[in-house]
Amino acid sequence: MDFFLALLSGALLALSFPKFGHPAFAWIALAPLLVAVAHRRHTVRRAFALGLLTGAVYFAGTLYWLVDTMVTFGGLARPLATLAAALLIAYLALFPAFFALIVARLVRTFGRRALLLSPFVWVASEMGRTYILDGFPWELVGYSQAAVLPIAQLASVVGVYGMSAFVTMVSAAAAYATLERGPSRWRVAAVVGALVLVAGVAGAARLRDSRLTREGTPLRVAVVQGNILQDQKWDPAMRDAIMQRYIDMSREAIGNGAQFILWPESSTPLPYEQDLPRGEAIRRLAREARVTLLIGSDQVEPVRPVDQRKPQERLYNAAYLIRPDGGTAAIYRKIHLVPFGEYVPFKRLLFFVGTLVEAVSDFSPGTEALLLPVAGHQASTAICYEVIYASLMRDFVQHGSELLTTITNDAWYGRSSAAYQHWQQASMRSIEEGRYLARAANTGISGFVDPYGRVLRHSDLFVSSVMTEDVRFLTARTIYSRIGDLVGWLSVVLTAAALAATRGKVR
């Protein structure tokens, strides 16, 4: 029965996210696992196994698309791709496993009331998933509520980690009410229900107020979705056609009054600085229309070689800001690289995915949260996957970013859940930071989100699209942008302190 409950928790977690799930599942997702691990007869080893099962189902359900991606674009045979994905899922499942182990230990020491600490233990596990090794904070529980706008407004105060604690609090209360027989279970349920009600009412009031949509300086922004299929992207015969498509679509955006135009990640067929004729076409477009362009392109930086006979260079995934006079105003280099997409971690250990290693370009990470000067203001951009790092987006705002942008190429993921998951996570950044967000994706989803997480416009997948929207440069700061991931770090400290208090006291 306990393993069934662990399996159920994993399934509910996976079903909390798009495109197959619903955010309502997240509120009760951890309750079955908590009920399973709260039995004092369990050893911590058994609790670990239950958590591992929950984690395996959770991450297999949200990351299933990795297999097809590695088969189609990494050149791996399906069995090897399945093995590589299984290793990543097994690693990620360790975090729910340690969550279950810690909760079981706390319950054995302090009794069932320790279940009420489980939201903080869960958030501590998500912090571990973010910062240990290279980090992989994909689909934290808090993201499940990104489209439930009254509740999601809480992210402007506590961020996505605080959202995770808030959502899992309901599971903890449900598990406690299920197992506890005294009147305290009703008091806990009443308090938690009141907190959810207050958060929803306060969030609805914030949405009605919407003062940020009336503040700041307006700017007309366009996002260009070129819809270049991945097997065409690097075909030399397609280079001129690809560039002409982006030029023509940008002219359409200019005709719609756009002052700032975003192209997707890696939109140019060759590195911008090395592709002189096509680079000049981009500069000429900026000069003629007097617009600012943000284009995704690789950057190749020569490096003084140790051995003069072997020239060396560094490759960056970059975004170039082109001024209205055609000059380059800034070059942002992607800081958080995609494992197995832009580099392969532990290459020596993963010798069996040699084909994938050869297919993946070995990018170097950027080191600076560089701002982009646009129309006399400061904007910022995140490239692809790094938009899921809340701390990076906060760094941008702390340094003065008044507008968030992100450029990506999600063609790798086909019509799977990945593109929908990625869009959902990006939209949470708008609420956290109180900023408009513009997103240009090669094959979708592109669009605009206001500072309250409301989707102003968005595209469909695998269509060409030019979308133009009036956004605003904003300078007001949310509470979250000031305190950052305080809830996350407090959860780590509280979990460590609770564990320390169990020393020599486990019954």
Residues catalogued as catalytic: 265, 334, 384
Please give the Cα distance from 400 to 87 (Å, whole number). Answer: 40
Length of the chain: 507
Q: Which residue carries 């984690």 as its tokens?
A: 55
Please give the Cα distance from 108 to 190 (Å, whole number). Answer: 25
**Amino acid letter, 415:** R
Please give the Cα distance from 10 to 32 (Å, whole number). Answer: 9
Q: Which residue carries 């806990």 as its tokens?
A: 188
3-state secondary structure of 485: coil
**Which residues sit opposite 440 in a β-bridge?**
407
In the structure, how many helices (H) and strands (E) does the chain have?
A: 17, 12
Burial 208-241 (b: 16+ CB within 10 A, else e): eeeebbeebeebbbbbbbbbbebeebeeeebbee
- How many C-beta atoms surround the C-beta of residue 132 within 10 A? 12
Reference 365, options 387, 383, 346, 391; nearest CA is 383
**Amino acid letter, 164:** S
Residue 178 parent element (H or E): helix 155-179
Query: Which residues 6+ apart lie within 8 Å of 343 measured at CB?
Result: 337, 360, 362, 363
Please give the Cα distance from 262 to 298 (Å, whole number). Answer: 16
Query: Which residues 6+ apart lie within 8 Å of 503 measured at CB?
Result: none
Cis peptide before 431 (omega within 30 of 0): no
3-state secondary structure of 438: strand
**Which residues sit opposite 470 in a β-bridge?**
220
Phi, psi of 504 (to 5 degrees): 75, 5
Helix axis angle, 418-433 to 390-398, nearest 10°: 40
Beta-sheet pairing, 217-225 with 260-262: parallel
